[in-house]
Chains A and B, each alone.
Chain A
């Protein structure tokens, strides 16, 4: 039972193990602590967004506007900070803005019954172009001195960032398993009708997962923005694909109701490792995308071969996007 439940997680873990072994032989310097820290910090935004995305996908919805939300939040955090607000206040306000963006998506999905892919497609295109219109491509420069690294030292900020990311992921993992709210998310995603009969309001659950994702995206944006001393306005392009890829590669079913934060974290590790690992191996950058694509396809095809040999073909409906 347990192996079948965590089959995707296991095959992703196996893929990571294979890459690690290859790296340990071919380029042991890959495991140097400084390199691991760099990789961790580079993947913090994807990790935090992917944790939120896991909840959204667990309810059977999807949010493809996170990249645009990320860009809006990054730019606004910089604008707020350069208006003279202390960086902490600016960060909190940015989270509120992220929550609001998420709430708009969530309300349209939950109470207006519009499919989430349509709502967030509109938000993705609309927010991105509105931001381009407002900034005309200009970067946010002249940030106050206390902005970068929250005014802490570089290592202090790195520790803080990693700490926030891990505690968020751990909290989410724990809450999804143990809190009533977490179980409601699984119940909504498994069968909204049955959840309602059980006294859960699926619309409220859906709404709040979008708000949570919005806040998490804002946190990711702030944590990323403070690593630098200027903020480009075209940031976050393609973030939605990275986050969704990490979630689904980590075994969360796009039909909802099945998946885990642990799987998502494995997905983030796998996808975040492939690129740098290939650089260490000296693979030509031009082939990198092809290698990434084949590793994703192999990792997910591997676990379906288990299924075929085990239980025979499942019906298509359960595998449908």
Chain B
């Protein structure tokens, strides 16, 4: 890396509170709060303030832990994976082995500590670069969690005392995890800024050999920060499990990136030696306020990433500008006039962009007042970018337009139960009229849906159900059992009920797919004993990975007769692999969208695609929600007039879309979704 930046210790007020440009980010945070107070309903309330804090605790704990790590000039990519492993341990201890809660919590923290110790040992004893070590342990620890639980076990049924930590409010106002977070924050502030260890960590970051000559036990101090990072990840896992009420191997996926972003945004230098806990907190909240504000204002959540990127660049560049007079010779040299002009231009362009966004923000502020009391219906897919849900959205928008309701369509970009909770929370704060969720995780989301119902919001589930008492109606497109049986029967028909076949699934930890696989296995055992399911391979919802996995499958199992893809991108991926292999006699079937598969169906590679009409599913969801809001749909109804769908049957509290369809050569061209 380039020569370490020189820092002159000067203890003015300014330098004390903003040694690394923390004031720039404070300014950005203030600007965010100002803008969102104007445009986002219910943003500037005490309730929302605590909500933002509550949802930031897990990433906050990790970012606190990463601050000293990055100050030593290291990095820890494994914190999210340690969270996953610790969450699984906690789940197993409480739900499976029924250990006392105290013992379970202790074991969870010990798991985190052990993982931290592994990193610390490899880094300090074996002198390995932290980047590689934690890259390796990131895979290893997540892998252990996945392997031990088969990626599918989802522990729930936690005792209320644990759930209170994540879901309760002290005195009905202050979230229960807030005092815990404050305590950890205080400890880290003292450790880093008021203790000998903190000074040692800084010294190591500036110059490790120098620190050693000064008598600092470098290896021990470096080991300590990684060990603490492990402990904090364990603690974050406890809060996460208490918050969601469920523990699965995918807990904390991607959290390392969020935490690193917060630390870096807060002015901590990745070259080591500089950084403050105060800055990290500002970085953390400037991101979570941005997310929260965009959700409350119902702006596309993709803006979060774009704005975070601008924020990162803008704060660091403005920090550089502000420091310019005090820079050393080296930094002065890189700032020639022409470059200054480019810099000013970039900042001006950035400002123009921000200003433009603001104009747009204000315009859309005016929109809700114009239309008066249009009902607001918020619909959440499981994963926003998934082609399956993209096609559901088409129908949802069609219904919203026909009925004259405002549709908010938002959700996580990938399968993420924690993100789903966050989005629902922000909808409750915003005060929408109806919420419809395609549930990733039952145990996780039911609590927050009940909260929404208690506030008088109509709650629906669609595509995948929550606990029955957490929602008014479930839009039932097909039961997991129905899907599994249709797929298995279709496979049996093509294979004459005998021979080998393989499944290419989505992510290994995807709840839906795992449910289908269970029912497929059951169906095989009951009706088709001569059919052998040889293996299940993950595609991570990535077409290219499904392609590569299928290529390998075809080579490993030369007698394979059929590949079944049970995620939308997996089916075309598998089909392309079969086509390029030139093998005949291997059929591809699965659950996917007709549009993605049309070509292969006509080429005779995909025999059949099982699915319901996704556009109609989105349409029916919004239609039912609107009827509920306008009180046209009363309890006990046995049917609903759903616009162009005509009369749709209601059984109890389930609205039935109809049976899964089988698309093949004869009918696939009639559908466009």
In residues 173-220 of chain A, which contact B (Cβ within 8 Å)?
192-193, 202-203
With a cutoff of 8 Å between Cβ atoms, the chain B residues found around residue A141 in the complex are: 595-596
Q: Are A317 and B1 in contact (CB under 8 A)?
A: no
Q: Are B387 and A126 in contact (CB under 8 A)?
A: no
Q: Which stretch in A78-86, A91-99, A128-136, A161-169 binds the other chain?
A: A128-136
How far is B580's CA from A117's CA once the two chains are assembled, in angstroms? 39
Chain B interface mostly: helix
Cβ of A1 within 8 Å of any chain B Cβ, yes or no, is no
How far is B66's CA from A321's CA once the two chains are assembled, in angstroms? 14
Q: Are B151 and A286 in contact (CB under 8 A)?
A: yes
- Nearest residue (CB) in B for A65 is B309
How far is B302's CA from A135's CA once the two chains are assembled, in angstroms? 11
Cβ of B60 within 8 Å of any chain A Cβ, yes or no, is no
In residues 12-53 of chain A, which contact B (Cβ within 8 Å)?
27, 29, 32, 34-35, 38, 42
Q: Which of B260, B304, B312, B543 contacts A232 (CB 8 A)?
A: B543
Cβ of B208 within 8 Å of any chain A Cβ, yes or no, is yes
With a cutoff of 8 Å between Cβ atoms, the chain B residues found around residue A282 in the complex are: 535
Q: Are B122 and A297 in contact (CB under 8 A)?
A: yes
With a cutoff of 8 Å between Cβ atoms, the chain A residues found around residue B127 in the complex are: 304, 307-308, 313-314, 316, 319
Q: Are A256 and B1 in contact (CB under 8 A)?
A: yes
- Nearest residue (CB) in A for B75 is A321
- Nearest residue (CB) in B for A224 is B544
Interface size counted on chain A using CB atoms at 8 A: 91
In residues 113-158 of chain A, which contact B (Cβ within 8 Å)?
113-115, 117-119, 121-123, 125-130, 132-133, 135-139, 141, 154
How far is B144's CA from A291's CA once the two chains are assembled, in angstroms? 9
How far is B334's CA from A108's CA once the two chains are assembled, in angstroms? 12
Cβ of B371 within 8 Å of any chain A Cβ, yes or no, is no
Minimum CB–CB distance for A252 against chain B, Å: 10
Cβ of B73 within 8 Å of any chain A Cβ, yes or no, is yes
With a cutoff of 8 Å between Cβ atoms, the chain A residues found around residue B144 in the complex are: 290
Say yes or no: A286-B508 contact (C-beta < 8 A), given A137-B387, A297-B122, A319-B128.
Answer: yes
- Nearest residue (CB) in B for A301 is B126
Say yes or no: A235-B542 contact (C-beta < 8 A), given A112-B320, A293-B136.
Answer: yes
Minimum CB–CB distance for B548 against chain A, Å: 4
Cβ of B552 within 8 Å of any chain A Cβ, yes or no, is yes
With a cutoff of 8 Å between Cβ atoms, the chain B residues found around residue A305 in the complex are: 126
Say yes or no: A137-B130 contact (C-beta < 8 A), given A230-B596, A294-B140.
Answer: no
Q: Are A132 and B137 in contact (CB under 8 A)?
A: no
Q: Are A128 and B305 in contact (CB under 8 A)?
A: yes
- Contact indicator per residue, chain B 124-142, by CB within 8 Å of chain A (1) or not (0): 1011111111011111111
Q: Are B536 and A192 in contact (CB under 8 A)?
A: no
Cβ of A75 within 8 Å of any chain B Cβ, yes or no, is no
Interface, chain B (partner A; CB < 8 A): 1-3, 72-75, 122-124, 126-133, 135-144, 146-147, 150-151, 204, 207-209, 212, 218-219, 222, 257, 260-261, 264, 269-272, 300, 302-306, 308-310, 312-313, 316-317, 320, 331, 334, 339, 342-343, 384-387, 389-390, 393, 413, 508, 535-538, 540-544, 547-549, 551-553, 555-556, 569, 572, 576, 580, 595-596, 599
Closest 8 CB pairs of A and B: A129-B305, A293-B140, A290-B143, A126-B309, A293-B139, A289-B143, A137-B385, A133-B302
